[in-house]
Amino acid sequence: MPHLPLASFRPPLWGLRPSKGLPRSHPLSTQSEPNGSAISQRNREAKQKRLRQKQAALEAGIAQKTKSPAESSKAWTPKEIVLYEIPTEHGEKKDVSRPLPPAYSPQYVEAAWYPWWVREGFFKPEYQARLPQATRETFSMCIPPPNVTGSLHIGHALTVAIQDALVRWHRMRGDQVLWVPGSDHAGIATQAVVEKQLWKERGVRRHELSREDFLREVWKWKEEKGGEICEQLRVLGASLDWDRECFTMDAGSSVAVTEAFVRLYKAGLLYRSRQLVNWSCALRSAISDIEVESRPLPGCTELRLPDSPTPVSFGLLFSVAFPVDGEPDAEVVVGTTRPETLPGDVAVAVHPDDSRYMHLHGRQLHHPLTGQLLPLITDCAVQPHLGTGAVKVTPAHSPADAELGARHGLSPLSVIAEDGTMTSLCGDWLQGLHRFVAREKILSALRERGLFRGFQDHPMVLPICSRSGDVVEYLPKSQWFVRCREMGDRAAKAVESGALELSPSFHQKNWQHWFSHTGDWCVSRQLWWGHQIPAYLVVEEHTQGDTKDCWVVGRTEAEAREVAAELTGRPGAELTLERDPDVLDTWFSSALFPFSALGWPQETPDLAHFYPLSLLETGSDLLLFWVGRMVMLGTQLTGQLPFSKVLLHSMVRDRQGRKMSKSLGNVLDPRDIISGVELQVLQEKLRDGNLDPAELVIAASAQRNDFPHGIPECGTDALRFALCSHGALGGDLHLSVSEVLSFRHFCNKIWNALRFILNALGEKFIPQPAEELSPASPMDAWILSCLARTARDCERGFLTCELALVTHALHHFWLHNLCDVYLEAVKPVLLHLPHPPGPLQVLFSCADVGLRLLAPLMPFLAEELWQRLPPRPGGAPAPSICVAPYPSARSLEHWHQPELERHFSRVQEAVQALRALRATYQLTKARPRVLLQSSEPADQGLFEAFLEPLGTLGHCGAVGLLPPAAAAPSGWAQAPLSDTVQVYMELQGLVDPQTHLPRLAARRHKLQKQLDGLIARTPSEGEAETQRQQRLSSLQLELSKLDKAASHIRHLMDVSPSPGEL
């Protein structure tokens, strides 16, 4: 029989999804003091008020529509904030000698622990090697280095929560753990931020300073502003080894980058060539593919662009006629979305099998602007069914045209300059004009010449620079490129062979596709902030037999000069070398991070001990641009895969399903969820950003809708637990603040449970060794079995990196097994003085083992509570829960009794039936007697072992067994548990028919009215039919119960009902 947790009829924590159609009983109270403080008294009164409101809502609103998220968010009320105010030096251990506050307060719990953890060295592998449970195995990871310019958003928090949970589990397990912190220098973003600051504060442009002076300004900014991310990581509880912190522009990283460049060049995997690159005219730099946002346009769309004086229309297809040479009335009409590139056209192409143009094969056309003759060429890449089937060929400004032009030997004409203006090749009438101003002038000229054939809406995908918001141009540039084919083949084979595991495995398809189609990687960036390329132009020299520039590569200028001397045959001292002013793509240094952070290219102890890394965990959006490049360069430069397993989590999206993005204004700072924030502050943050005015209005409106009352204080532990509760195999993660808030209430439940347990244990309690603990009652055996099963499930979840399994197991144990069942059942037992020792030992083991199981996910709460438990005798206790042994499934296996748990699930069914009967007959205070009757002897024995807890949990009086053949007791309510088991509850003397029948009639009338309204109402748009049917069933069930109860009460009266009674 399946296990039915008591959660199905216990009142759930606010924010958790309640069961529908079931009455609520009073919540568990673990208040340790008889009267409690004023704060706890107010909390109890508020909770009782909410319970009454919930009960009224249940009766009056079963058939109401589901509330909108914004309406639901009104449910939370501010909680009392308790602060830790005991004077404690930074890095000193927190004082836990005082009693626990009456209610959970995140600010109190999270104070002081992190600096102490760091000072004690708990996060260092050298400390872990000395632990009693040390396994001599290593576990190493690096944090995906976030950009130093920004602050962490909720997507980063997901990465940190997952990684830290895994790291803490391995550390407690006894592995020697190294988790390397670091940040990325973010070349484009950082330079842009500093340039804006210089202009705002001093009115100075970058080019008005020397390169050295500007870089000093950047380093100054980094020292002043770059620490925000580290502070956020500490707030999130990330157990990083801060003594090994890396920055991708520090000295060690610079050495690694230079070494990697030189080695790749010598291996023939790095070369300089003139090719088309992604170019941002606003930044005046090449950009990587990941910095190009592909924005779909449904049709004509106006966009405001940097440096463009007026909005520019995109999503239009313009038709232009190219006259056929020698035939005055013949023309070929082509469609283009980029008329500004017409001056760069060198041909018109059609498909060789397109019958419309076969008669023109080999002919020439007149350019519509210049009149120059252009060839009409045939190519199978042309799609004849699109537009007119004829396309203009602009090799200098289109990757597809560049390939086509290369096949036909066409020379490109570059007509757009680095700054987005038209070049001299366009003629005086266009030279120097902004390209989108030139567009309008070109269209006017076409109209004047009678060669413009109109325009129409045209859905398209527009490449946008994510850094500047400008339209990306494709320009031919002499840049440095990494050859990716050979390294990419190795990366693909590593996954195919199983040497590299991608989890979830469905990412393998994207991996293989990307590496089978990837081109060479442009690594040059026209910036000042970054790793300057270690390549030198030998001035006035050319490679032998060639007119190309002569470039040499070296770790230093001296080394490059030696190479140049050997190449040219001239003494090095006579040569003039000019270093390439460009810097390397930020992704180049990031791709080296797994080994450069450990000291490569030096043979350091860390590199020998912790490389390759045990695991790489990151967002699925970085699989190709970062993970793929780490695998390529790591394998090439170190001879080993940088890691053997990659764990990829889903993308975090907002309520509308959009990716978290600063440009959309939907980014959530995890600290706002942890500490809480008012709506006004959230709106101010939006206004302080760089959003376009139109986007600001949209973002502010969405924010008001999502958080009409701001964000409540949830705490770090609740946020971490919520983030880890989402499975990696699912789709994108739509995290709601209400979900995090529900886990804050879960924290409060654990808090109250520990207050109850500590109060029960008293000051003189001495724990038994776990291996000596033997349960004294079936209830003790049941909870210990649940604890052992939870440990097994947690171990399996951590081993497979499925943290959702861990969070589910822990949530179920603490809430549904311990708090809802065992603590309630054991309260009457603890009323006996002196307390029986068995339940106390069980309570201690549940707290000790349960907190250690919880520690990787909720480190602050677990530490705060675990530190207050009495130590087990024998041996020095662990100084902190984060280095205490993690409970293994094997060590607790002797407690596991699956058969007992299956038996107890039958008891829980009986409890559910009893509570439902009490609610139906409104027995709020009475404790009626109960009888159970079964036709199966085995069931009799099963229930007999749990008669006392059954009565306690069912809020009933004495519980007994009715012999199988005995007649049903007269005047008792009855409920079937199964075909063989019946439950009877005494009503005689507890129910006043004259009072209860009118109440039942009123409730029935109210529910019948709701049912009639639901049946008559037309389903709302988007309402699921299954949801509607569930509401109908719920109402019908409630009505059936009321009818049965009314009939039974009339039987008690032994009179016939009057016609209008029901």
Contacts 24+ apart (CB under 8 A), 89-94: 90/115, 91/115, 91/116, 91/118, 91/119, 92/116, 92/119, 94/864, 94/867
Q: What percent of the chain has pLDDT over 90?
A: 66
Interval 612-670: pLDDT, tens: 999 999 999 899 989 999 999 999 999 999 999 999 998 888 777 777 777 677 888 99
Rounded to whole angstroms, what are the CA distances from 230 to 191, 442, 499, 592, 745? 20, 52, 34, 21, 28
pLDDT digits (tens, 9 = 90+) for 462-496: 999 988 889 999 999 999 999 999 999 999 999 99
485, 538 contact by CB (below 8 A)? no
H/E element, 579: strand 577-579
**Least confident span in 325-339, 627-641, 1013-1027:** 1013-1027
At 1000, list the tokens: 């039942």
**The pairing of beta strand 733-734 with beta strand 652-653:** parallel
Q: How far apart are CA 462 and CA 472, in angstroms?
A: 8
778-806 pLDDT per residue, tens? 999 999 999 999 999 999 999 999 999 99
Q: What pLDDT digit, counting tens, does each position of 551-610 carry?
A: 999 999 999 999 999 999 999 899 999 999 999 999 999 999 999 999 999 999 999 999
Name the H helices within 954-1024: 993-1016
Burial 961-981 (b: 16+ CB within 10 A, else e): bbeeeeeeeeebbbbebeeeb
| Per-residue confidence (pLDDT) for residue 528, from 0 to 100 | 96
Label the pairing between strands 930-934 and 981-986: antiparallel
How does pLDDT run across 411-424, given as a tens digit for each residue? Answer: 999 999 999 999 99
How is 635-661 classified by DSSP, letter by letter? Answer: HHHHSS-SBSEEEEEPPEE-TTSPBP-
Res 1052 pLDDT > 90: no
What span, in angstroms and rounded, lies between the C-alpha atoms of 237 and 244?
Answer: 17
Quick: pLDDT tens for 979-1015: 889 999 998 878 877 788 888 888 888 989 888 888 8
Per-residue b or e along 1026-1056, where b marks 16 or more CB atoms closer than 10 Å to that residue's CB? eebeebeebbeebbebbeebbebbbebeeee
474/144 Cα distance (integer angstroms): 30
CA distance 624 to 632: 11
C-alpha span between 949 and 780 (Å, rounded): 11
- Is 190 in contact with 529 (CB distance < 8 Å)? yes
pLDDT of residue 873: 81
pLDDT value of position 36:
40
For 93, phi then psi, to 5°, come to: -70, 145
| 136 residue type, one letter | R
Judge whether residue 2 has pLDDT over 90: no
CB 159 within 8 A of CB 617: yes
Distances (CA, A) of 559 to 49, 268, 523, 537, 563: 79, 18, 22, 13, 6
Mean pLDDT for the stretch of residues 922-948? 89
Both structure tokens of 1053: 């009266």
C-alpha to C-alpha distance for 255 and 547, rounded to whole angstroms: 33
Residue 597 near residue 182, CB atoms below 8 Å:
yes
Q: Using N-to-C axis directions, what is the helix angle for 823-830 and 737-761, rounded to 10°?
A: 20
- The mean pLDDT value for 962-974 works out to 87
Beta strands in 755-816 (DSSP E): none
pLDDT in tens, 121-148: 999 999 999 999 999 999 999 999 998 8
What are the respective helix, strand and coil percentages of the chain, to the nearest 5? 45, 15, 40
Decide: 5 and 735 in contact? Cβ < 8 Å.
Answer: no
**Among 31-40, 526-535, 933-942, the least confident range:** 31-40
pLDDT at res. 70: 33
Q: According to the model, what pLDDT value does residue 730 have?
A: 59
Task: Compute the chain's Rg from CA coordinates.
Answer: 36
Q: Which of 281-295, 478-492, 721-735 has the lowest mean pLDDT?
A: 721-735
Please report the beta strands in 315-458, taking only residues with DSSP state E, as ranges in sequence order: 316-323, 331-336, 347-350, 364-366, 373-378, 390-393, 452-457
> Residue 382, Cα to own-chain centre: how many angstroms?
42
Instruction: Give the length of the chain.
Output: 1062
Over residues 853-864, the mean pLDDT reads 98
For residue 893, how many other CB atoms are within 10 A of its CB?
Answer: 11
Q: Note the pLDDT tens digit of each residue in 687-699.
A: 887 677 777 888 8
Residue 149 makes CB contacts below 8 A (sequence gap 6+) with: 186, 189, 190, 193, 226
Q: pLDDT per residue over 807-857, tens digit each? A: 999 999 999 999 999 999 999 999 887 878 899 999 999 999 999 999 999
Picking from 663, 768, 675, the residue whose alpha carbon sits closest to that of residue 713 is 675
Distance CA 60, CA 558 (A): 85
Predicted pLDDT of residue 333: 97
User: What is the per-residue pLDDT for 32?
Assistant: 34
pLDDT-derived band at 1057 (thresholds 50, 70, 90) equals very low
In whole angstroms, give the CA distance from residue 866 to residue 844.
10
Q: In this model, does residue 297 exceed pLDDT 90?
A: yes
pLDDT recorded at residue 73: 39
Among 53-62, 774-783, 865-874, 906-915, the minimum mean pLDDT is found in: 53-62
Concatenating the DSSP letter of every residue in 615-636 gives -EEEEGGGIIIIIIHHHHHHHH
pLDDT value of residue 879: 96
Q: Is the pLDDT of residue 49 over 60?
A: no
Query: Has residue 3 got a pLDDT over 60?
Result: no
| pLDDT for 862 | 98
Please say if the pLDDT value at position 425 is more than 90: yes
Higher pLDDT, 34 or 443: 443
Q: How far is C-alpha 22 from the chain's CA centre?
A: 34
Q: Report the relative pairing of strands 452-457 and 316-323 from DSSP bridges.
A: antiparallel
3-state secondary structure of 375: strand
* pLDDT tens digits for range 353-388: 999 999 999 999 999 999 999 999 999 999 999 889
Dihedral angle computed from the Cα positions of residues 504, 505, 511 and 513, in that order, rounded to the nearest 10 degrees: -130
State residue 859 phi and psi, 5-degree precision. Answer: -65, -35
DSSP label at 380? T
At 88, the amino acid letter reads: T
The Cα–Cα gap between 560 and 30 comes to: 74
- Rounded Cα–Cα distance for residues 613 and 77 (Å): 45
The model's confidence at residue 1054, banded by pLDDT at 50, 70 and 90, is: low
3-state secondary structure of 948: helix
Give the tokens for residue 348.
């018109």
Sequence-distant (≥ 6) Cβ neighbours of residue 667 within 8 angstroms: 153, 154, 660, 661
